[in-house]
Amino acid sequence: MSASLALTHLVPLAKEVDENKVTPGVLGFIVFAVMALAVWGLMKSMNRQLGRVDFTEETDPKAAPSEPEPTGSAGPAGSGGKASPAKG
């Protein structure tokens, strides 16, 4: 009983749609679904590729060993290693 009542209320709403209006329809849905699947596949592939990346940096054996900086002397930026603001 309630299903037929609901249908009688929905039929006038369906007739209110303008027949001259362009809608995406089934083709629009198919294009959207294909694009969504493509994005999902690309994200899955990117996640797999990023999982293979080794983020630890290896030292270059050809590079000259850097000299350790003295801890007690003031560096080029003054004491404490912080640059003082310009006054003027």
pTM greater than 0.75 (yes/no): no
Give residue-wise pLDDT tens across range 54-78. Answer: 878 878 778 766 666 666 655 555 5
Q: Which helix (H) or strand (E) holds 12?
A: helix 2-15
- Give the pLDDT confidence of 15-46 residue by residue, as tens digits: 676 778 888 889 999 999 999 999 999 999 99
Assign 80 to helix, strand or coil. helix
Q: Do the beta carbons of residue 75 and residue 81 sit within 8 Å?
A: yes
Q: What is the pLDDT of residue 29?
A: 95
On the question of pLDDT at 12 being above 70, the answer is no
pLDDT of 55 reads 79
